[in-house]
Amino acid sequence: MFKTFKILLALTAMCFLEWEPAVSQTNDPLLFPKDNFTVETKTVKTTLGEKEVSYRSYLHIPYVANPVDKDYESMNVSVPVKIDGLAVDAANAPVLFVIGVGGYMSSNNSRTGAGGATGGGPGGNRRVSGNADLALAAGYVVVSPGCRGRDNKAADGTFYGKAPAAIVDLKAAIRYIRHNQGVMPGNVNWIFSTGVSAGGALSALLGSSGNSPLYDSYLAEVGAADAADNSCGSACFCPITDLEHADAAYEWMYGTIPARSGLVDQELSKQLKDIFAGYQASLNLQGKNGFGPITADNYDKYLLQFYLIPSANKYLSNLPDEKRTEYLANNKWITWTDNGAVFDFTDYVTHVGRMKGLPAFDDFDMRQPEPNLFGNTTTVARHFTSFSLRQSTGNKNAEIDDDLKILVKMMNAMYFVGQNNSGCAQYWWIRHGASDNHTSQTVIANLATSLENRNKDVNTRLYWDAGHGADEDPEDFIAWIGNVTGFSKHPNSNH
């Protein structure tokens, strides 16, 4: 039985695998209501000017047969029908799956209202619209699912959105899309998820854990469709992932930098740095261009060479001479010669500054979002690392429960990448602000490098001096989806 299941997983792993339409029963409770829509029109701003998009808006569609809470376990679907007055056919278009989650909180689909393509992702400024609207203007189908989160609490006081509820719901939504192939517009082999912060981590988790049997019992419980839940691509903006190692990574980067309250406990910081060194060595990651193994001892050099210096060069070279001179005068730790930046990693970290205390995620008082995420039906928060549990209880031999260890893995994209999960997405778009101090830059680089080492197509960039949630190239992201799928060359795409 297990061997047969592994074969089935391998068959579903390919991004462009052809699927037979799953829907054949008119009484199917998970049948997409293709005739129940309103037609909406919106103006989408692009660098080439405004586009008028007319689209079919399907609102608040339950994607599981046995929802715990329909307000969260439902989705909005937006299907473009006209772009600047020209008809488009989205039957075979890419699907942008927009995860509107922040802080691992719930996302209530019933409150999004009309025009469900907006919100739930980065992108958007005074020049251009957000990613979801840009996707509509490119002829893509946009799906905006709700999902449960750590804040969901029933009238009797029980919690019903703790881990792994959010990823279970998102997987169920992907299954719903696949289940409705041929009924719901969009190419089920071209599903691309996107999210920011915790949403970025969930997008990474969705992309890496496709078709994993770890979630099967949870999916059966909510009545998810019997379909695959792997995706073609994953866009991860400042993903707060690899939580069980994030405290150690944060100390490696920011341990000697004072927080607002002063320098953190240096002995505890050193203990976490040592934990990071062991973890980093265990990953056996090989750097780009013959760099060799990436370790705690050389990670600063790796980040400088392949992420930070290129980010600074891109930013500074695009500044007018006067503005660049002014910027360098205010940042004397950077030397600019021959159109290239040179600086020390320690000076860069000092420039960014430390945001969080120690530990940064599994804090001893459990006031951060992450311990709250790992609560259970009757407990609001739990420590999810043995390090913090030992410090909080004073028991140097304390270990988190085995069931909790499994939940922590189920919420970590790095676990599934490391396991070479056959349903892992092929295409990855990873973005992070170079001044984003919500997590260590090693978290993003480890995710990207782990995927690269497994021959995934990874497009990674740091935005210089940008903070948490930045997205400075949203149109490039939408074009990237068109390029990797070939949809940009489709005769009916009109873009």
b/e burial code for range 92-126 (CB count within 10 A of at least 16 → b): bbbbbbbbbbbbbbbbbbeebeebbbbbbbbbbee
- Supply 164's token pair: 């792994």
Question: Do 28-238+469-489 and 243-413 fold alike per CATH?
Answer: yes
Q: What is the pLDDT of residues 100-159, one digit of tens each?
A: 999 999 999 986 543 333 333 455 556 899 999 999 999 999 999 999 999 999 999 999
Per-residue pLDDT, 96:
98
**Cis-peptide into 369, omega within 30 deg:** no
Per-residue pLDDT, 18:
40
pTM of the model: 0.92
Per-residue pLDDT, 125:
58
Q: How far apart are CA 341 and CA 317, in angstroms?
A: 9
**Structural domain boundaries in the chain:** 28-238+469-489, 243-413
Residues 6+ apart with CB under 8 A from 222: 64, 65, 66, 67, 68, 73, 168, 169, 172
Question: Which ranges in 81-197 belong to alpha helices (H)?
Answer: 131-137, 165-179
- Nearest-CA neighbor of 123 among 482, 474, 428? 474
Q: Identify whether the C-beta of residue 143 lies closer than 8 Å to the C-beta of residue 69.
A: no
**H/E stretch holding 24:** none
Secondary structure class of 177 (helix, strand, coil): helix
Residues 6+ apart with CB under 8 A from 179: 22, 23, 30, 225, 226, 227
Q: What is the pLDDT of residues 42-74, one digit of tens each?
A: 999 999 999 999 999 999 999 999 999 999 999
CATH architecture of 243-413: 3-Layer(aba) Sandwich (3.40)
| CATH superfamily to which 28-238+469-489 belongs | Alpha/Beta hydrolase fold, catalytic domain (3.40.50.1820)
Q: How far apart are CA 163 and CA 202, in angstroms?
A: 11
Residues of the chain with pLDDT under 50: 1-14, 16-24, 113-121, 491, 493-495
Q: Identify whether the C-beta of residue 71 lies closer than 8 Å to the C-beta of residue 151.
A: no
Per-residue pLDDT, 186:
98
- Supply 331's token pair: 């940042």
Sequence-ordered strand ranges (E) for 407-456: 427-433
Q: Identify whether the C-beta of residue 200 lies closer than 8 Å to the C-beta of residue 170.
A: no
